[in-house]
Chains A and B, each alone.
Chain A
């Protein structure tokens, strides 16, 4: 009885402290993500003179001089165009290979299915730097070095596991009966997939394509190692980081982050679904 009266206020304190830690943790995580984006945002949309000034204003002055400077900088448009081409090719390759694999995983039982699923994820277990050197040697031998296709192949390797797993969960969510109904109504297997499964899976496939695009868009290591002339934007910025003025860095950073952010935001529902978080 006396224990209870002594413990009661303490428990309350513990609860309150726990709540504080919980919310402080959330705040920290949110700031961790948002503060760099905020810096990027205000510096990219401010005049070059303001970039180096202190204190910062909360809202940028929306002076486009930095971005104009970035746009006119030697090689930027070319690098941007390379980035787009590599990312689009990555998108096509990873969906072109990932979606059939995802379909097979969701619809067929075959020996080694579980092993294959593990293997798909295992491809992400090898650090890229480890692979980059042998890949570079191989690419030089086959003539794939410094090409859009070569880099897209490496990016496809990075994006493929996600493409397989996202499309696997997508196809698993489409009842088999719909396909069976299509078979009884005159379709063969391929026709049933084209007429019934693909229309239903299309939004999700688009989402996983966008995700592949973003992975390629943001990838810097392979891009820097495997290209010289045909640099993507990330590799280009990395290369010219030391020699470029601060406004250029911020404008370049914004050019990389903003499309990725917009794309990911647009497909967040499907990515949440993949990670097992309820749709919101």
Chain B
């Protein structure tokens, strides 16, 4: 049982604030992804949970125990580093056994755990090698095996796949998901890659400027962004935004079209590119660039002078310069407050 509770955690580096009073609860055995651009504070938060960084304020609880004053070794965590941090002077076997030997386990238990995790990560044939003789992907496997062998309550991963090439990343991603689900540990996984976040996470915490902007299931984060930032950060291409003019109670005028919307003083209209389809009536889009993606076509256009993207079926020829009429799916339209940047109901 290792629920993680982060209460009011803040971190200042001199005058710079990396984290503004973050609150987050991660359930036992949950796979939580911290997602954000570089400098958003996600790695700082992970390092505070690991004990590699001390919070300026706040509390960290793991499994019902307050740990923010404890050193990393006393927290029941294991960590996988971005550059793997495989010890170069030890064999793969001794790397995986390192923590077990520190815990003074018997040789038979060390052998058993190393063999089991090595099999799990498919590196049993590499046990006698040194890290200098391994590829990046193999080192990654050793780093994960070393963490799993500890049988920790919590595994912390700091961009573990970012140094691998694209194909290997895809393979490792699927494998990690399977292995971690089986190990029944709580996982916190830091990444800037939204596809990785979507595919791995039970829940995603989207971070920006030292705040957690939204923490929810991947589909929720994608479909119902809590803030304009989430919509503009997640999705490839991201959400389209258009200014809206009030047109009576709950009615809004967007690029000359009338929509049902929230009761608010001001609002911004938002729609995902794939939630548009060519129709008789809709938003008038002047096509600038057309990019075929196989089954779909990515159209970059301008609507009312604003950049606007749409993903449409490839059964119709579209040429730059042409004007498309794009109808948004009504239940997929989202509204944001232009001042607070928060989602409007």
State the CA gap A175–B299 with chains docked (Å).
46
CB distance from B2 to the nearest CB of A (A): 15
CB distance from B98 to the nearest CB of A (A): 5
CB distance from A207 to the nearest CB of B (A): 17
**A209-237 CB contacts (< 8 Å) to partner B:** none
Binds A, one of B85-93, B106-114, B175-183, B228-236: B85-93
Does B71 sit within 8 A of A, measured CB to CB?
yes
- The reply to whether A184 and B88 form a contact with Cβ atoms under 8 Å apart is no
- The reply to whether A188 and B98 form a contact with Cβ atoms under 8 Å apart is no
Question: A188: which B residues are within 8 A, CB to CB?
Answer: 71, 73
- The reply to whether B102 and A180 form a contact with Cβ atoms under 8 Å apart is no
- The reply to whether A177 and B99 form a contact with Cβ atoms under 8 Å apart is no
Question: B78: which A residues are within 8 A, CB to CB?
Answer: 184-185
Does A196 sit within 8 A of B, measured CB to CB?
yes
- The reply to whether B81 and A181 form a contact with Cβ atoms under 8 Å apart is yes
A178's contact among B85, B146, B150, by CB below 8 Å, is which?
B85
Question: B99: which A residues are within 8 A, CB to CB?
Answer: 184-186
CB distance from A199 to the nearest CB of B (A): 4
A180-B52, A181-B79, A191-B102 in contact; A186/B85 too (CB < 8 A)?
no
- The reply to whether A183 and B52 form a contact with Cβ atoms under 8 Å apart is yes
Q: A-side binding surface: helix, strand, loop or mixed?
A: helix
C-beta contact mask, B67-101 vs A, less than 8 Å → 1, else 0? 00001110001110111010111000000001100
Does A76 sit within 8 A of B, measured CB to CB?
no
**B22-75 CB contacts (< 8 Å) to partner A:** 50-52, 71-73
- The reply to whether A199 and B89 form a contact with Cβ atoms under 8 Å apart is yes
Does A260 sit within 8 A of B, measured CB to CB?
no
A183's contact among B72, B88, B89, B146, by CB below 8 Å, is which?
B72
Q: B-side binding surface: helix, strand, loop or mixed?
A: loop
- The reply to whether B81 and A196 form a contact with Cβ atoms under 8 Å apart is no
Does A120 sit within 8 A of B, measured CB to CB?
no
> Nearest B residue to A200 by beta-carbon distance?
B89
State the CA gap A195–B90 with chains docked (Å).
10
> Nearest B residue to A198 by beta-carbon distance?
B89
- The reply to whether B87 and A186 form a contact with Cβ atoms under 8 Å apart is no
State the CA gap A199–B78 with chains docked (Å).
23
Residues of B in contact, count (CB < 8 Å): 22
Does B120 sit within 8 A of A, measured CB to CB?
no
Does B329 sit within 8 A of A, measured CB to CB?
no
State the CA gap A260–B72 with chains docked (Å).
46
A177-B81, A191-B102 in contact; A184/B87 too (CB < 8 A)?
no
Question: B88: which A residues are within 8 A, CB to CB?
Answer: 178, 200
- The reply to whether A183 and B81 form a contact with Cβ atoms under 8 Å apart is no
Question: A177: which B residues are within 8 A, CB to CB?
Answer: 81-83, 85
Question: B150: which A residues are within 8 A, CB to CB?
Answer: 185
Question: B71: which A residues are within 8 A, CB to CB?
Answer: 183, 188
> Nearest A residue to B88 by beta-carbon distance?
A200
- The reply to whether B87 and A178 form a contact with Cβ atoms under 8 Å apart is yes
- The reply to whether B81 and A180 form a contact with Cβ atoms under 8 Å apart is yes
C-beta contact mask, B131-154 vs A, less than 8 Å → 1, else 0? 000000000000000100010000
CB distance from A44 to the nearest CB of B (A): 41
A183-B71, A186-B73 in contact; A175/B89 too (CB < 8 A)?
no
Residues of B within 8 A of A (CB): 50-52, 71-73, 77-79, 81-83, 85, 87-89, 98-99, 102-103, 146, 150
12 contacts between A and B (CB under 8 A): A177-B83, A180-B50, A180-B72, A180-B79, A180-B85, A182-B87, A183-B52, A183-B71, A183-B73, A184-B50, A186-B99, A196-B89
Of all A-B residue pairs in the complex, the 10 with the closest CB atoms, nearest first, are: A186-B102, A185-B99, A181-B85, A177-B85, A183-B72, A184-B79, A199-B89, A186-B73, A184-B72, A177-B81
Q: 20 new A-B pairs (CB below 8 Å) besides A181-B79, A184-B72, A185-B99?
A: A177-B81, A178-B85, A180-B50, A180-B72, A181-B146, A183-B72, A184-B51, A184-B73, A184-B77, A184-B78, A184-B79, A184-B99, A185-B78, A186-B73, A186-B99, A186-B103, A187-B73, A196-B87, A200-B88, A200-B89
